[in-house]
Structure 1
Amino acid sequence: MMRRSHRKSRKGCLECKKRHIKCDETRPHCINCTTVDRRCRYSTPWTPAERSPSDRSASPQNSTTAHAPTPAPTDAVPNIHPFASVEEPHSRVDMAHMELLHHYMTHNTSIYPVDAYMKGIIMPVALREPYVMHSVLALSAHHLSAIRHDRQAFYYNLAIQLQTDALSLFNSIDVGVFGDSVEKRIPVFIFSCLLGFHAFCDALSHRDGDSDTAIARFLGYLALHRGMHTVMHGYWDKLRESELQVIFDELVPRWFQVAGQGHECDDIRERLTSGNMDDDELTAAQHAVDLVQWVLDAKPGPQSRGYVLCSWVAMLERPFVRMLEARRPEALAVLAYFFLAMHHCRRVWMFGGAGQHFLTLLAEHFRGREWYAWVETPYQMLQESLRQEALDGNSSNHGPASHSEDGSCITPVPMARDFLVERPGESDAPRIAEIHLAAMDSNPLLHVQFPTPKSLKALQRFLSTHTAEELRDPTSGVLVARDPGTGLIVAFAKWDSPSHPGSTKLESGDLRNLEGCRREYLDRYASLAEEAKATCFGDRPCYRLSFVCTDPAYQGQGAGSLLTRRILKMAAADGLPVYLESTEWAFRMYERCGFQGLHSFQMDIPLTPASQSTVYLELCMACHPPSPPTGLLGMIGVGRWRFWKS
């Protein structure tokens, strides 16, 4: 009888073989033995020229050639030998990882808000502990997903994968063998900080359309971030005497043991004092408010205030955490001030418009209930901040994003107003056509397709007639936003879906026959748009948002966002995603509503004079219906990560 082939590695260290565990074969000391401080011995001697598994993972060989015999070159260099492919997916190193490491080390601002103080400590640890290095690279990928919108999906997915690998690597370690060694807990502390920060970025990158989902996502992040208390319990004093002393002796006193001097939180302090809480809950809630007030005192605030917000969850006292987990209205009201502080720190790269988004959802959560008075003050402060931005010319629904001095992106935010959303009548078709042309006037493609005033007039008449025909069909997808004071339509949205069937794309229909239009640019655009949609969705059912147009006199006041969110709710009720093509200057509005980039397409269009040309670009985006938290937060729900389970 032939012996079955042995599939396990025969090159592991003697200690791992004795314990019947998988060895990573790193020489001179494997990770298992290094982690638990065992003497690592191999049956064969080690020379510096030998390669460890991490060295092998950098090989350009693929799986089909890794096991093939490699002929020795005539000028072979001594001690260089062929090597096999690595087994563990998380041990592969490629140029993308090199890019992330380079970005983390050389970017001119702090990707992690405490990097200015900690990078000299983090990197040596990351080079020793693979799970820390994976977490560092995950943060770098998250930052790139925020600043490189053309590859946002690639970097975001890479960030999630790297952090998943980091957790998997950590979970392979038996923390119990650390004993009382504080040195072995330093990497764990750094990892827990990085993990919490990554989870925070992951939570803020979503734009849930309803408050319940958003609150659930935030509470999932809270549970993950506070996991550090599980393994650090009883060792905080010893950590203060380690190389982390700079955190406990300098940063914590400077950033956390201070009392706010402003008055933005006076209303919530008074309400908490008169509320129905015991002494421990009141003290813990007031402490949470103190940290928020200190951030508000320094608006818009330096980078250190961003670190306070990132660490806020970890610094909360246990009684207040229990209130949040129970969704006590008093605790959620404090959370509203936390999101207000986040809005004032929106220049920190991971915040952007997240503070405005989450505070608005909380206000909607309490609207019409007695607890609304608890969040009304921060919500009014937010509105006043947005109005001031509009007056200063810093906010526009369709304008490009601005950037801070350090190059970080600042998402423009609309000044919200109470518009009336309804389905229009046929008599409203001329006004919708008027808004269509006024809103699209800044789009260069429109003037390439309809280059003369006469052709634009013909287009407006066509749009009016076409919209009237759409409105005769009660299943067609058309909504408008009206100014409640004047009754004037200020914006409209059009879409099609299985429940609101539309015709072919507008550019593919009778529009092509209008006098004076340049059909070749209509056909080219329609062809590229349909190819892009097929690439992104194929034949899968979805809502397709074809137009969201706002009268220029009303842009920046939230009408377009309001219509978009209403359509997202209808799509969520049908359990379908929403797809659209966005111009370069409008995509940020859709980002705030929860859309993410999938694809893009472009075409050359002429300029004036005709001898010149430029590239016209549109971004394909989609927003999926609310679902259980994804990324790291979704992993908690299945209880996969033993380290963070308390």
Structure 2
Amino acid sequence: MMRRTHRKSRNGCLECKKRHIKCDETRPNCMNCTTVDRKCQYSTPWWAAERSPSDLSVSPQPPSTGPASTSAPPSTSFPWLQPSSPAEDSHSRVDMVHMQLLHHYTVSQDLHPLMDTCMKDIIMSLALREPYIMHSVLALSAHHLSVVRPEQQSFYHNLAIQLQTQALSIFNSIDVGLYGDSVEKRIPVFIFSSVLGIHALCDMLSYRDSDADSAISRFVAYVTLHRGMHTVMHGYWEELRKTELKVIFDELVPQWFQLTSEGRECDDIRERLSSSMSLDAEEREHALCAVDLVQWVFDAKPKPESRGYVLCSWVAMLGRPFVRMLETRRPEALAVLTYFFLAMYHCRGVWLMGGAGQHFLTLLAEHFHGGEWYAWVETPYQMLQDALEKDALDSSSRFPIATSKKRRYIVPVPMARDFVVTRPQEADAPRIAEIHLAAMDANPLLHAQFPAPESLKSLLRFMENYALEQLRNPATGFLVARDPDTDVVAGFAKWDSPSHPADGKLESGDLRYVEGCRPEYLDGYASLAEEAKKRCFGEQACYCLSFVCIDPAYQGQGAGSLLTRKILAMAAADGLPVYIESTGVAVSMYQRLGFTTIDGFEMRIPRPGLAALSEIYREECMVWYPPPAQDGRSE
């Protein structure tokens, strides 16, 4: 019998060669074998074949070793993105979850700033050809679902990590040297860089570091990752403008990026950079360009998502001299970064940004506080405070407060209220419990100790009973600040001292038996806190300020400072120092009241929804000393 004629396929599968038919060389299973349900095998692994990225399968298995991507940051900074690690077998096939992610990506209106109709078509056509883009698209979709579906946050977040890691693994297997001068082959790399950059930014912002050094290191790692693709694109930008990406350069960029800065938000930093003697001409030029890019965010019109796209693209558009300034932590570059985070606060409606701008700007302001460079960041920090105040006044005004009996509402109030400080009544116990959880909600340690919504509900019930028990003891150190107009409790402070003894630290008592609690993080924290206090004071008598908790609707209006000053006055009358363990975000307030940092401690905790110890939680040990006695009396 005569053999069928066919074109030879040098890299075809063994089954097709045996049957003498043309193989389409799709990996890991060619179309012929898939159609007739045969086992598809190749004589060489997929990464050894000299193939174009278009020939790669949707979910190949990468080699366990190989050259690391120049686009990847140090593994210590982004442990969830390991581009040289092998893809997992569980993700070597397409399943219904992938279909769900793909559908979500195509129908979601707020997932990707580039998702207008024409860009959808370009991205999806490339994703169907290039597996590394498809995996990155699915990863971004999973990350978006982890935000918009908080009840499934852990599942989608882990899935996003796995898919993005696989995308990097596939991309790293490609020898870009084979691209030659081909502009067409660089189009998928440009799109991949865009999606990868947004995914990396999202991961960076989801970590709420408690100290500026960690936050800066994480941001620099993100910069390294986002800009890694520039080596592939270098020298080809003008040619890309003539390809199918023309819509980005000729339509979207002019629409979203203004070519001149019209606003005045960045005037202060621009003036300081222009007159700085520590910058050379090249550094000054690129720093001012970075400022112009931020100003465009403030000027961007008409939709918030256009601002979001500028922010997502900011790092990619920075000049190399300014990137070096960021990498070496030059104060001038970090000052520019505070304006970037101020712009991010104004883009908080974009899903991946949320409250990150406020958090990171506050961290940087605290980082510079009290030093010669604080003047460089004081303006954006004050602009943030003004914006927070305005948003509180302009918000839809009725802030719900849940109680065990019914739902009540309060109206946001202006700053500098004349709060009335009194000892709370037993009837205030439910309100104190509510404030405690609301004020501590941003603290990652709380969610490590009580990770599930049900455990937080149990904690609320416990705190109500605990507060009631404490209030029944007249010797307990307890004060509340009340709104003078509504008599609503805005915040509370709790302390112990020789005249106000305590039964022990809250974390050391019955709190560990609350349903859903993870006692290992309670015990670990209590042990570290106790050791730190012993190092600082030993057996010396002092006031220990346990909690200063203010309802979020009243924060920034002076209630916390007023309560703390009342306790400082009592400590001064007794001639005793005041000791407190403070989270990073509150350090600046206590410094303004005269506290100084004398020690600190930290522990590793898991991020919300994850089991791994992936975040460092830190507290500062601070002390306030009473003024020296005059004429035999304490001031």
State the TM-score bracket (shorter-chain normalisation): 0.5 to 0.7
Change (3 A) 1:560 1:174: farther
Deviation at 1:95, TM superposition (A): 2.6
* Gap runs ≥5 in structure 1: 1-11, 19-25, 33-39, 59-85, 401-412, 419-427, 451-455, 472-478, 509-525, 580-594, 600-620, 628-646
1:363-512, aligned counterparts within 5 Å? 363-393=365-395, 431=424, 436-440=429-433, 462-465=469-472, 490-492=491-493, 502-505=508-511
Give 3-state SS (helix, strand or coil) of 2:184's partner.
coil
Q: Deviations over 1:349-380 (max 9, x none)?
A: 11111111111011001100111111111110
Which of 529, 539, 542 lines up with 2:516 in the alignment? 529
Q: Deviations over 1:552-593 (max 9, x none)?
A: 6974449899987369999x95443569xxxxxxxxxxxxxx
Give 3-state SS (helix, strand or coil) of 1:491's partner.
strand
Q: Provide the rounded CA distance (Å) in 2 between the counterparts of 1:332 and 1:441.
A: 37
Q: What is aligned with 1:614? A: none
RMSD: 5.0
Q: What is aligned with 2:291? A: 289
Q: Provide the rounded CA distance (Å) in 2 between the counterparts of 1:56 and 1:361.
A: 42
Q: Provide the rounded CA distance (Å) in 2 between the counterparts of 1:482 and 1:622.
A: 37
Q: What is aligned with 2:564? A: none
Q: What is aligned with 1:112? A: 112
Q: Provide the rounded CA distance (Å) in 1 between the counterparts of 2:582 and 2:103.
A: 39
Give 3-state SS (helix, strand or coil) of 1:261's partner.
coil
Q: What is aligned with 1:5? A: none
Q: What is aligned with 1:29? A: 25
Give 3-state SS (helix, strand or coil) of 2:332's partner.
helix
Read off the aligned partner of 2:111 and give its amino acid letter. I
Read off the aligned partner of 1:529 and give its amino acid letter. G
Deviation at 1:201, TM superposition (A): 0.4
Deviation at 1:440, TM superposition (A): 3.9
Give 3-state SS (helix, strand or coil) of 1:529's partner.
coil
Deviation at 1:493, TM superposition (A): 7.2
Q: Provide the rounded CA distance (Å) in 2 between the counterparts of 1:397 and 1:207.
A: 25
Normalising to structure 2: TM-score of the pair? 0.63
Q: What is aligned with 1:625? A: 616
1:14-93, aligned counterparts within 5 Å? 14-15=10-11, 28-30=24-26, 48-50=35-37, 88-93=89-94
Deviation at 1:198, TM superposition (A): 0.5
Q: What is aligned with 2:603? A: 576
1:165-180, aligned counterparts within 5 Å? 165-180=166-181
Read off the aligned partner of 2:242 and give its amino acid letter. E
Q: Any conservation in 2 of the 1:291–1:312 contact (CA below 8 Å)?
A: yes
Change (3 A) 1:174 1:309: same
Deviation at 1:173, TM superposition (A): 1.5
Q: Any conservation in 1 of the 2:105–2:138 contact (CA below 8 Å)?
A: yes
Q: What is aligned with 1:641? A: none
Q: Provide the rounded CA distance (Å) in 1 between the counterparts of 2:342 and 2:239.
A: 36
Which of 573, 580, 583 lines up with 1:565 in the alignment? 583
Normalising to structure 1: TM-score of the pair? 0.62
Give 3-state SS (helix, strand or coil) of 2:508's partner.
coil
Q: Provide the rounded CA distance (Å) in 2 between the counterparts of 1:164 and 1:119.
A: 23
Q: What is aligned with 2:222? A: 221
Q: Any conservation in 2 of the 1:542–1:577 contact (CA below 8 Å)?
A: no
Change (3 A) 1:267 1:232: same
Change (3 A) 1:57 1:179: closer
Q: Provide the rounded CA distance (Å) in 2 between the counterparts of 1:543 and 1:147.
A: 34
Change (3 A) 1:350 1:459: closer
Q: Deviations over 1:296-343 (max 9, x none)?
A: 124894311110000000001122111111111111111111111111
Q: Provide the rounded CA distance (Å) in 1 between the counterparts of 2:474 and 2:149.
A: 37
Q: Any conservation in 1 of the 2:211–2:584 contact (CA below 8 Å)?
A: no
Read off the aligned partner of 2:391 and give its amino acid letter. E
Read off the aligned partner of 1:29 and give its amino acid letter. E
Q: Deviations over 1:220-272 (max 9, x none)?
A: 10011011211111222221221111112222333345111111111111111
Deviation at 1:463, TM superposition (A): 2.2
Q: Provide the rounded CA distance (Å) in 2 between the counterparts of 1:87 and 1:149.
A: 25
Q: Any conservation in 2 of the 1:285–1:331 contact (CA below 8 Å)?
A: yes
**Structure 1 residue 233 corresponds to structure 2 residue 199:** no
Give 3-state SS (helix, strand or coil) of 2:516's partner.
helix
Q: What is aligned with 2:138? A: 137
Change (3 A) 1:467 1:334: farther
Q: What is aligned with 1:590? A: none
Deviation at 1:397, TM superposition (A): 9.1
Q: Any conservation in 1 of the 2:258–2:300 contact (CA below 8 Å)?
A: no
Give 3-state SS (helix, strand or coil) of 1:596's partner.
coil
Give 3-state SS (helix, strand or coil) of 2:371's partner.
coil
Q: Any conservation in 1 of the 2:399–2:553 contact (CA below 8 Å)?
A: no
Deviation at 1:464, TM superposition (A): 2.3
* Gap runs ≥5 in structure 2: 1-7, 15-21, 42-55, 61-86, 403-411, 438-455, 483-488, 497-501, 530-545, 562-579, 588-596, 619-635
Change (3 A) 1:182 1:55: closer
Q: Provide the rounded CA distance (Å) in 1 between the counterparts of 2:24 and 2:295.
A: 52
1:310-349, aligned counterparts within 5 Å? 310-349=312-351
Q: Provide the rounded CA distance (Å) in 1 between the counterparts of 2:136 and 2:423.
A: 55
Deviation at 1:196, TM superposition (A): 0.9
Deviation at 1:431, TM superposition (A): 4.0
Q: Provide the rounded CA distance (Å) in 2 between the counterparts of 1:209 and 1:395.
A: 30
Segment of structure 1 superposing worse, 125-134 or 433-442: 433-442
Q: Any conservation in 2 of the 1:439–1:552 contact (CA below 8 Å)?
A: no
Q: What is aligned with 2:212? A: 211
Q: Deviations over 1:1-48 (max 9, x none)?
A: xxxxxxxxxxx9743799xxxxxxx9623359xxxxxxx9x9x97685
Q: Provide the rounded CA distance (Å) in 2 between the counterparts of 1:56 and 1:551.
A: 52
Change (3 A) 1:566 1:257: closer
Q: Any conservation in 1 of the 2:433–2:467 contact (CA below 8 Å)?
A: no
Q: What is aligned with 1:630? A: none
Give 3-state SS (helix, strand or coil) of 1:184's partner.
helix
Q: Provide the rounded CA distance (Å) in 1 between the counterparts of 2:605 and 2:473.
A: 23
Q: Any conservation in 2 of the 1:397–1:560 contact (CA below 8 Å)?
A: no
**Structure 1 residue 596 corresponds to structure 2 residue 618:** no
Q: What is aligned with 1:79? A: none
Q: What is aligned with 1:267? A: 268
Give 3-state SS (helix, strand or coil) of 1:180's partner.
coil
Change (3 A) 1:152 1:554: closer
Q: Provide the rounded CA distance (Å) in 1 between the counterparts of 2:307 and 2:261.
A: 12
